[in-house]
Chains A and B, each alone.
Chain A
Amino acid sequence: MPQQLSRVQLLEEIQKISLVCVDLNLFLDTHPDCEEALRDFNRANKFYRQLVNEYQVTYGPLLGFGQMSTMEQNYNWIKGPWPWERQNRGESL
């Protein structure tokens, strides 16, 4: 089992894979028949979803709605740090 990433580290990983997905998405818009690009896009997309799921299980929802299947016990969205709270902690994300 890999070591646990901090919240900021995991967010950064999500952002990296997200940008890879965006670029591959754009490439496939003009090369819809490129099997290699499609394969990498599917892998990146799957990996992105894994990261997002791991983040949300560990640190709470990334968005207020649409990502978590349910808000299990209570309304977890409000428990995450707000942007100004992150800045006060010296976090970049």
Chain B
Amino acid sequence: MYYNPGFGVPTSPCTPSPCQMYQAPVMPMNPYGVQPVQSAPQQMMPMASPSCGCSQMPTYPASPMPYAAPCYNQMPQAMPISVEATIMPQAAKDDCDCQSTKKTYTKTTYMEAEVPLMQSVRKPYQTTQSTNTTCTNLPLAQSYVQPQTYKNFNDVNNVLTQGTYFKDLYKPYTKGGNQ
């Protein structure tokens, strides 16, 4: 090369820590993943009325998560329908003083009586668990960003052909994968 600006000489990663101070933002967990989904039904409160028939309206604490109203259209097909569980009736019994609250809620009565639309939307997920994977029943994806470190530089004479000064970012497209 005609000029020698001092580039393209491998150096050690930026130390001790200036580069490492950068932290990718922490992404919230997918509320429809395996663990969060277990607690999602608890946050669908309050319901319209208790099953005991009394006029006392039970209230429930607000959801601590930002996903208080999950969209069931986005639920992965593998999510077990049993996650609806019976958290609802227990909460209703605790909040209602009348004696008729011994009646047990079930998932079916909850789904049909209180959120009929959810049930109708959810049915396809129940019935397509063993069918082919399509764009409509794929589980949600999660993206991530790996913090880049200051190392592995390209030679300046290669930057135009590889399109980057960082070797780690050189990802040539090859049909069919690595060839």
Contact = CB atoms under 8 A, between A and B. Distances in A.
| Dominant secondary structure of chain B at its interface with chain A | loop
Interface stretch (B15-23, B86-94, B121-129): B15-23
Nearest to B151: A36
Contact of B18 (A9, A15, A35, A44): A35
By size class, the interface of chain A is 20 to 34
Interface stretch (B29-37, B72-80, B108-116, B152-160): B152-160
A44 B7 contact: yes
Interface in A1-37: 2-3, 5, 9, 12-13, 15-17, 19-20, 23-24, 27, 30-31, 33-37
B173 interface: no
B100 interface: no
B19 to A, nearest CB: 5
B2 interface: yes
A27 B18 contact: no
Contacts of A17: 5, 156
A40 B11 CA distance: 11
A16 B159 CA distance: 6
Given A19-B165, A20-B165, A23-B165, 12 more contacts: A5-B2, A13-B1, A24-B165, A27-B148, A27-B150, A30-B147, A31-B14, A31-B19, A31-B150, A36-B19, A37-B150, A40-B7
29 contacts: A5-B2, A9-B2, A12-B160, A13-B1, A13-B2, A15-B160, A17-B156, A19-B163, A19-B165, A23-B159, A30-B148, A33-B18, A33-B21, A33-B22, A34-B14, A34-B150, A35-B14, A35-B18, A36-B18, A36-B19, A36-B150, A37-B14, A37-B150, A43-B5, A43-B6, A44-B5, A44-B7, A47-B5, A51-B3
Which 3 A-B residue pairs are closest in the complex by CB-CB distance? Answer: A23-B165, A47-B5, A33-B18
